[in-house]
Structure 1
Amino acid sequence: MQDIKLPGAAALALHVLRLSTPFAMAGLCLWVLSARIVLPTAADIGGLLGGLHLWQWLAACGATGISFWALGRYDSVAHRHLQTGLDGPEARQAGMAAIAFSQLVGFGLLTGAYARWRLVPGLTVMQAAQLTGLVGLTFMAALAMICGLAMVMFPVFAWFTPVGLLLVATSLVGAIVSFLAPNLRLGTITLRWPSITAMAALCTWALVDVMAAGSALWVLLPQGLDISWSTLFVVYAMALGAAIISSAPGGTGPLELTIFTLLPGHDSTGLLAALLAFRLIYYALPAALACAMMGMPHRLTTMRAPPIDPDLLGARHSPASLLPHQRSCAEVGIIHQNGGHVQAFGFNQLALLDSPQISVALFDPLNGNISETLKPLRRYARQRNAIACLYKCSTRNALAARQAGWAVLRIAAEAVLCPQSFSEEGSSHRQLRRKLRHAEKSGITVTPAPAQMPLAQMAALDKAWQLRHRGARGTTMGRFEANYLAAQQVYLAWQKGHLIGFVSLHCCETEWCLDLIRLCPKAPDGTGHALLRAAIAGAKQEGIARLSLAAVPDHRFATRMDPGLRRFKACFAPQWQPRYMACPNWWAMVLAGLEMLRLIHRPGAVLPTVLPAAARRTFSPTISPTMALPGAPSDRPESETATTGWFAARKSEEMRAS
């Protein structure tokens, strides 16, 4: 029987130990404090408190109000990070009440979660616990940064500067790591770090809170106690950290011990009187108001839906599988793979991608006016603690963004040509003709992909290509995946019955856009040119008015980026059209640019693309690639000659011309 009861007894003992530790910590700190200072009498304390002026009490109350107002804003950022849909005035009031209640009672995670759950209808127990844990952990991280900066700026002791620099450096490294690896996996649980925008907001509100609380304590210092505001600020920030870590009720003990330890040469009686007055104003008064609110939580009538925002009325979120085929930009098809979606603001539709740092509208709107989407896009991003961004938009839309006060930067140039009038004749296509002759002499044949694509060969070719190029970029550039290619036009290059390359193109009603180019390491010179020339011929046959070769970097910091890709596209003498990036301000531009670089160069795992049946491409009758090899008989219809037997078609044209 004893063996059966031991685990239960051990669990009970551990539970009692957890509950008693904060009280033991408070008692130990108070005992150490009593041994370090001479405790004043009640009469001395009463005299000092009575000597405080009315303006001091009122100023302390005002500073306390500012501090809790900042804490409410802190809760608001946490709500947006967890996407509770409850970011509103009532939730902020509940956050202030929860912090006031928990900092007096202690056991912040339990009491804070209980208060939030009770005060916010619609908030589940799990969400309340997550919210409280997030607020506690991020506040400690922000407080570490604040303490580090304060110790460097206001060094009370010589060791403050190196310790402060270490805290600041650690905080910055943590922010960089969270940016590069926004998700933390703990077994089966995945945690998402707050965005850089959220971190900046959390640090700002934490700084306002600590400065206001420190000011409340400073104005309550009795006359004759000469302590500068800067000194008391840095000491209070460190004492606050010790109080939070201890989880003692009201931080009693650790707060006082830290302050008296870091301010040893000052009048202990006056300082103790100021701390007592501070506890009355900053702890007791807010806690009394919080208890009153918790006694009648029906006054907070928060609903589960987000607050009504006139800028977001009519906003709709549709999956990428509903991307319309009748659109002006074929390249928008990239959202089938990068996790993007179709976002509607009223009658205006955007191809939107949400990342940990930004909400980026790719290319131009699917339909509607860009000027009508800028404000709701900013509100939408703000609800995610993210930055709004336009990426690779046209000149007209970039001008509209600049007129709205956004920062605009030219980042790329898109190569565009017209398949209906394209010809490789003329001096501008001299290099293209040379490449095509090389491909023809090497015995290369280009065919459109059959309905049953040779996926195994294509996957092997893609793997070899990635090994040569050190991986494939993503997010704004496609990656090999069978379902993804099913929505595209694909052309294959063959040599002696072996697949040596392929290209894929996004397609919509009026435009095709180049996406994947995969060539085997030993592909003959001109293979890529022959593939793209066949795609142009196919677009002409399908009546496509515009074919985009996609964009290349085109700004002063990218003069040496992808020079080979630019030369390849320049062989076709396209029209170069500038493309821009736009953000609400230049700080947002820097952060969004870094995030786009991370997304492109460090994309996540390739996920299967979900496509409706209507989005899958239609194929010509299946034909074996060997039928299109040079010298082999072909029973293809004559109408397909321009696509599959392009070299033969060119020869016949030359013969007719001669």
Structure 2
Amino acid sequence: MAGLCLWAIFTRIELPSLSDLGGLLGGLRLWQWLAACGATGISFWALGRYDSVGHRHLQTGLDGPQARHAGMAAIAFSQLVGFGLLTGAYARWRMVPGLTVMQAAQLTGLVGVTFLAALAVICGIAMVLFPVFAWFRPIGALLLAVAGAASLLSFVAPRLNIGSLSLRWPSLAAMAALSVWALIDVMAAGTALWILLPSSLDISWTTLLVVYAIALGAAILSSAPGGTGLLELLVFSLLPAHDSAGLLAALLAFRLVYYALPAAIACMMMLAPERLKTIRAPVTDPDLLGAQHRSAETLPHHRLRAESGVIRQNGGHVQAFGFNQLALLDSPQISVALFDPVIGSFKETLTPLQRYARQRNAAPCYYKCSARNALAARQAGWTVLRIASEAVVSPISFSESGSNHRQLRRKLRHAEKAGISVRPAPPNLPLAQMAALDQAWQNRHGNAHGTTMGRFEANYLATQRVFLAWQQERIIGFVSLHVAKTEWCLDLIRICPNAPDGTGHILLRAAIAAAKEDEIPRLSLAAVPDHRYAARMDQGLRRFKACFAPDWQPRYMACPTWGDMVIAGFELFRLIHHPDPVQPTSLTQFDALRSGHGGADHGADQDAETAEWHRPRPVAGGMQSGSAHSAARAS
């Protein structure tokens, strides 16, 4: 290919003599050579940063100076030798200790494909803004439309499945970073070429940048050493009206500065990689000292928010930053800390969470944190948005007497007249009936939401307190609650479509009575949307919870920037409304809980507590007369 392109060049331009070419090169001033070297340095610096983004996407754990230096050397070396996928992978494998051959190949492929994609976007923008020919604008607009569609697809479907191969798209944050570094690289390289133009050539900087970007893309696709032949052919074809001898001299000077000099440095680095020992170890991030990834099974029973138990099902984990622990969920776009910290100080987790998310090219986010912690986030410079209100009752002092519980009393009377009784679920859950009930509920209401809300799954329910509503010998509804030492939180509520009025109310009233008996000071009815668009959403859930006259507590979403907030908002919407398949809760956790060994706490007190809150208890189930709630019990 290189030979054919060179032949095509020779047939369309008149080659200057060696003396004329030498005169043109000799006419370049010292400042031009130095400025071109400076622009080359900026270009390769950006390419090194590009490799860092690739390391974070692949989660190699080797991001640092050695990754950036190896990336710069690999690109310089592959430009000289050609066959970039092979030679670039070899250079990275040789220069980065701990990087496997497969990882080096994956990284090189990722860098190559994403750079071409970013270059296509750059070319599209340049062709629309600075058209050299009339046909540039429609072609540029088409490139931008395809890029926009691909970005949308990567968000909606984060994984691309090709047979048995599953590829994860870079996150939107990674795409933005890759585009920025690619833009800096192309602009710096094109500027180096422009600086080296002889004084006889009058080509504008923008025109040359557009031409160079297009020629660079073709040169990379050719895989020829340095894109030899194809780069020159496209430059001459897109700039036909200019002095060919001057262009040839500028391209030759550019190859000396941008290809030969970096390649020589890269070869020396590759010949003696042991001399780079001082940059081999990744720089330790002091904000992540003591960071530890722990299984959801280690979620402690004495946590502040019982609702964090949802990570047992959604693929989340407990992330420790020193003595502080978060219920953390990693998705393709975000690293979201659910609710308030499991244990520890909110303020001390803000910077570590941000660093942790950036290490995987994700946006950091706190979801449904309390007002006090939202204020702390705002004081730390984060962006805060009110998104929900959580309904909270105090089981110990709860009573359905009074005017604010009038609607609740009416619903409970309806349930009592229908002959509904509520019993705590036995140790062996009636899963077949409960599964049928869950399916009937979904048939009426649509697929169950997930990620931040639980879904029906046997082992998951076995870690919760479950209450069943019976009508004669038939289960017509059930509720499940997350449990912690000082709080219970409503999770699943499933009522069959033809259940009598008040079924959900009597179920939840029974759970409140059981929490009072266990001396639980706080029971959360979970949150409902509370933002400017909440009025357009279904108000049935809010009305149901309002019957218990709860204390409505605001809940907030916090991100470092508004850009992160937008990404996190759309990603959470996708995760909630189109969740991934249910990840079954570990049987190890289930067995530990049933035997009284909950999570990471192994003391005798914890064992006793865990066994106690899994013991079936009798629960109040109906209404007698007036406002007095029945003491009917079931074993």
TM range (shorter): over 0.9
Q: CA deviation at 1:327?
A: 1.4
Partner residue, 2:84: 108
Letter in 2 for 1:561: M
Secondary structure class of the residue paired with 2:277? coil
Secondary structure class of the residue paired with 1:559? helix
In 2, Cα distance between the equivalents of 1:527 and 1:419? 19
Partner residue, 1:265: 241
Partner residue, 1:629: none
In 2, Cα distance between the equivalents of 1:353 and 1:444? 39
Deviations 1:340-397 (A, max 9, x none): 1111111111111111111111111122111111111111111111111111111111
Is 1:613 the counterpart of 2:613 in the alignment? no
Partner residue, 1:189: 165
Partner residue, 2:357: 381
Deviations 1:10-58 (A, max 9, x none): xxxxxxxxxxxxxxx1111111122221122211111110100111101
In 1, Cα distance between the equivalents of 2:626 and 2:301? 32
TM-score, normalised via structure 1 length = 0.90
In 2, Cα distance between the equivalents of 1:117 and 1:206? 23
Deviations 1:512-547 (A, max 9, x none): 100001111111211111111111111111111100
Contact 1:487-1:617 at 8 Å conserved across structures:
no
Q: Any residues of structure 2 matched to 1:168-207 within 5 Å, and which?
A: 168-207=144-183
Partner residue, 1:597: 573
Secondary structure class of the residue paired with 2:492? strand
Q: Any residues of structure 2 matched to 1:206-355 within 5 Å, and which?
A: 206-301=182-277, 306-355=282-331
Deviations 1:434-468 (A, max 9, x none): 11122122221211111111101111111111122
In 2, Cα distance between the equivalents of 1:205 and 1:242? 19
Letter in 2 for 1:231: T
Contact 1:394-1:578 at 8 Å conserved across structures:
yes
Secondary structure class of the residue paired with 2:340? coil
Identical aligned residues as a percent: 73
Contact 2:65-2:279 at 8 Å conserved across structures:
no
Contact 1:86-1:304 at 8 Å conserved across structures:
no
Q: CA deviation at 1:613?
A: 2.9
Contact 1:121-1:303 at 8 Å conserved across structures:
no
Deviations 1:73-118 (A, max 9, x none): 0000001111111111111001100000001111000000001111
Is 1:583 the counterpart of 2:538 in the alignment? no
Deviations 1:97-150 (A, max 9, x none): 000000111100000000111111111110110010000000001001100001
Is 1:45 the counterpart of 2:21 in the alignment? yes
Of 97, 100, 114, 1:121 maps to 97
TM-score, normalised via structure 2 length = 0.94
In 2, Cα distance between the equivalents of 1:28 and 1:291? 28
Secondary structure class of the residue paired with 2:325? strand
Partner residue, 1:465: 441
Partner residue, 2:601: none
Structure 1 residues 234, 617: closer, same or farther in 2, change over 3 A? farther
Partner residue, 1:519: 495
Contact 1:71-1:96 at 8 Å conserved across structures:
yes
In 2, Cα distance between the equivalents of 1:69 and 1:198? 17
Is 1:83 the counterpart of 2:59 in the alignment? yes
Q: CA deviation at 1:614?
A: 3.3
Q: CA deviation at 1:187?
A: 2.4
Unaligned runs of 5+ in 2: 597-615
Is 1:397 the counterpart of 2:362 in the alignment? no
Deviations 1:249-285 (A, max 9, x none): 1101111111111111111110111000000000000
Contact 1:492-1:502 at 8 Å conserved across structures:
yes
Secondary structure class of the residue paired with 1:474? coil
Secondary structure class of the residue paired with 1:111? helix
Structure 1 residues 37, 388: closer, same or farther in 2, change over 3 A? same
Q: CA deviation at 1:569?
A: 0.6
Secondary structure class of the residue paired with 2:284? coil
Letter in 2 for 1:73: R
Deviates more, 1:408-417 or 1:536-545: 536-545
Letter in 1 for 2:365: C
Deviates more, 1:607-616 or 1:438-447: 607-616
In 1, Cα distance between the equivalents of 2:279 and 2:168? 25
Q: CA deviation at 1:188?
A: 2.3
Partner residue, 1:628: none
In 2, Cα distance between the equivalents of 1:248 and 1:287? 15
Q: Any residues of structure 2 matched to 1:499-514 within 5 Å, and which?
A: 499-514=475-490
Partner residue, 2:518: 542
Contact 2:413-2:622 at 8 Å conserved across structures:
no
Partner residue, 2:599: none
In 2, Cα distance between the equivalents of 1:615 and 1:267? 81
Is 1:92 the counterpart of 2:77 in the alignment? no
Deviates more, 1:312-321 or 1:439-448: 439-448
Structure 1 residues 538, 648: closer, same or farther in 2, change over 3 A? farther
In 2, Cα distance between the equivalents of 1:81 and 1:146? 22
Q: CA deviation at 1:650?
A: 8.2
Q: Any residues of structure 2 matched to 1:396-435 within 5 Å, and which?
A: 396-435=372-411
Letter in 1 for 2:332: P
Deviations 1:133-179 (A, max 9, x none): 00000000100110000111101111111111111111111111111
Structure 1 residues 646, 476: closer, same or farther in 2, change over 3 A? same
Secondary structure class of the residue paired with 1:373? helix
Secondary structure class of the residue paired with 1:420? coil
Contact 2:73-2:263 at 8 Å conserved across structures:
yes
Partner residue, 2:612: none
Partner residue, 1:439: 415
Q: CA deviation at 1:491?
A: 0.8
Contact 1:325-1:615 at 8 Å conserved across structures:
no
Letter in 2 for 1:614: A
In 2, Cα distance between the equivalents of 1:334 and 1:288? 55
Letter in 2 for 1:492: L
Contact 1:406-1:585 at 8 Å conserved across structures:
yes
Partner residue, 2:537: 561
Letter in 1 for 2:430: P
Letter in 2 for 1:467: N
For these two proteins, the number of residue pairs brought into alignment is 610
Partner residue, 2:113: 137
Q: CA deviation at 1:302?
A: 7.5
Contact 1:465-1:518 at 8 Å conserved across structures:
yes
Is 1:74 the counterpart of 2:74 in the alignment? no
